[in-house]
Amino acid sequence: MLADKRILLIIGGGIAAYKALDLIRRLRERGAQVRAVMTGAAQQFITPLSVGALTADHVFTDLFDRQDEQDVGHIRLSREADLIVVAPATADLMAKLAQGLAGDLATAVLLAADKPVLMAPAMNPAMWAHPATRRNHAQLQADGIRFVGPNRGEMAESGEAGEGRMAEPLEIVAAVEGALGGGPLSGRHVIVTSGPTHEPIDPVRFIANRSSGAQGTAIAAALRALGARVTFVTGPASVPPPSGVTVVAVETAQEMAAAVEAALPADAAVMAAAVADWRVANASAQKLKKDGSGRAPALEFAENPDILALVAKGPKRPRLVVGFAAETTDVVAHATAKRARKGCDWILANDVSPATGIMGGAENAVTLISEAGAEVWPRMGKAEVARRLAARIAEALR
Give, for all 398 residues of the chain, the pLDDT tens digit.
Answer: 688 899 999 999 999 999 999 999 999 999 999 999 999 999 999 999 999 999 999 999 988 776 665 555 678 888 889 999 999 999 999 999 999 999 899 999 999 888 889 999 999 999 999 999 999 998 998 888 888 888 877 766 556 777 888 988 988 888 888 788 767 888 899 999 999 999 999 999 999 988 889 999 999 989 988 888 899 999 999 888 887 788 999 999 999 999 999 999 999 999 999 999 999 999 999 999 988 888 888 999 999 999 999 999 999 999 999 999 988 888 899 999 999 999 999 999 988 777 777 666 678 889 999 999 999 998 888 888 999 999 999 999 98
Is 232 flagged in the annotation as binding? no
Residue-level pLDDT at 142: 82
pLDDT for the residue 199: 96
114 is in an annotated binding site: no
Question: Does 63 show up as a binding residue in the annotation?
Answer: no
Query: What residue spans in the chain does CATH classification 3.40.50.1950 cover?
Result: 6-179
Catalytic residue flag (residue 209): yes
pLDDT of the residue at 338: 94
∠ CA 132-134-137, rounded to 5°: 110
Check the annotation: does 277 bind a ligand: yes
Between helices 48-55 and 17-29, what is the axis angle to 10°?
Answer: 10
CATH code for the domain defined by 6-179: 3.40.50.1950
Who contacts 285 (Cβ-Cβ below 8 Å, separation ≥6)? 202, 203
pLDDT at 70: 58
Q: Is 308 annotated for ligand binding?
A: yes
- The Cβ of residue 202 has, within 10 Å, a number of other Cβ atoms equal to 15
Q: Residue 170: what pLDDT? A: 85
Cα angle at 194 between 266 and 312, to 5 degrees? 40
The pLDDT of residue 361: 67
Distance of CA 212 to the CA centre of its chain: 16
Kindly name the residue from 136, 151, 209, 304 that is annotated as catalytic.
209
Q: Is 307 annotated as a binding residue?
A: yes
Q: What is the CATH number of domain 189-396?
A: 3.40.50.10300
Predicted local confidence at residue 73, as pLDDT: 65
Total-model pTM: 0.62
Q: Which helix (H) or strand (E) holds 19?
A: helix 17-29
User: How far apart are the C-alpha atoms of 20 and 341, rounded to whole Å?
Assistant: 44
Q: Range(s) for CATH 3.40.50.10300 in the chain?
A: 189-396
Strands 373-376 and 205-207: unpaired
Q: How far apart are CA 215 and CA 8, in angstroms?
A: 32
305 annotated as ligand-binding? yes
- Give me the residues paired with residue 119 across strands: 86, 147
Any binding-site annotation on 172? no
